[in-house]
Amino acid sequence: MITPESLAKSGTEHGEQVALMCWCALNVGKYPELQLLHAIPNGGARDRVTAGRLKGEGVKPGVSDLMLPVARGGYHGLYIEMKRPGEKAKPIQLKWGELVTEQGYYFCVCDTWTKAAQVLTDYLFNYLKR
C-alpha cells in the first residue's frame, strides 16, 4: 500500500511533496479545501529552449512550490515552499515569501511533508491569525 511515509523515504524534496499530496488525497474528506492545493512547476532542470519558453510564459525564480487559494484567518491564501529534510530555503525563495506576505498571503517553508500537513491543518482548521 502506498502511504505518505513510503513516498517520503527517498529523502528528496520531490518525495516529500508527493507524500504531502498523498496525505491531502487521504484527508480531502475531512478538509475539502485540500482539493484546491496545487503545485507550481517552477523548478527543475530544463534544456535552454524549454527554459526560455517557460520564462516567456511567466515562470519566475523563487516562486513557491505549492499554493492553496483558500482564505483563512485574514489571509488570502497559503504558499508553501517544500524542501528536503534539513534543507533551507534560498534567499530568492524567502524574498518571494516576503512579497506574498506583504500582499496578505501566508507563507512558510517546510522541510518535511509532516510539517507541511501540520501547516495545512492549522491553516484550515485552527485559522492561523496574523
Check which CATH number belongs to the domain holding 8 and give it. 3.40.1350.10
* Cell numbers placing 128: 492561523
What residue numbers bound the domain in which 27 lies?
4-126
Report the mean per-residue pLDDT for the chain.
92
> Distance (Å, rounded) from C-alpha 48 to C-alpha 43?
14
User: What are 2-32's pLDDT values in tens digits?
Assistant: 999 999 999 999 999 999 999 999 999 999 9
Query: Residue 74: how many CA atoms within 13 Å on its side-chain side?
Result: 5
Tell which wins on pLDDT, 28 or 1.
Answer: 28
Which pLDDT score, from 0 to 100, does residue 128 have? 59
Q: Quote the number of domains for the chain.
A: 1
User: What are 70-98's pLDDT values in tens digits?
Assistant: 999 899 999 999 999 999 999 999 999 99
Which pLDDT score, from 0 to 100, does residue 19 have? 97
Q: What is the pTM of this model?
A: 0.91
